[in-house]
Amino acid sequence: MINFLTRRKHQPLPTIERWSSFFDVNTEPLKLDPDATQEFDLEYRRQLFWIAADIVRQQVKPNTWEAFRLTAIDNQTVAKTSKQLGMNEGSVLVAKCRVIARLRVEVSKLEEQLHGEPKRGGL
């Protein structure tokens, strides 16, 4: 080890060009496709949503989650959801709003864990 360290003083360090040719690596800056970047961002947000959804689903009553799922995810009307779940329409709307609020909090927590600070804009 000592021989290696002492010999290193006499040998010049390889340049980036030399290493890149050795590994056949392009040293040009990476050019990102805007469409691919948008698709990646969308998929990232989708995954954050589903992770947060799993957390929130365990925190709320099953009827509350179903009211949210049917109206927000499945795009079912409030009237049909209220009949299906045996709730009044106001309760369905309140349940949906409460779940959305919790989802925003959980997404912020996840982003803070991943990046050190939450992104602005919620879901």
pLDDT tens string 107-122: 999 999 988 765 555 5
CA distance 71 to 84: 11
Instruction: Give the closest residue to 61 by CA, choosing from 34, 98, 29, 36.
Output: 98
Residue 10 maps to a domain: no
pTM: predicted TM-score of the whole model, two decimal places: 0.66
Distance CA 67, CA 81 (A): 7
Nearest Cα neighbor of 69 from 46, 50, 45 is 50
CA 74/CA 4 separation, integer angstroms: 65
- Structural domain range at position 110: 32-115
- Does residue 45 lie in a domain region? yes
CATH classification of the domain holding 90:
1.10.10.10
Asked whether residue 120 is assigned to any structural domain, the reply reads no
- Answer yes or no: are the C-beta atoms of 72 and 100 closer than 8 Å: yes
Domain total of the chain: 1
Using pLDDT thresholds of 50, 70 and 90, give the confidence band for residue 10: low
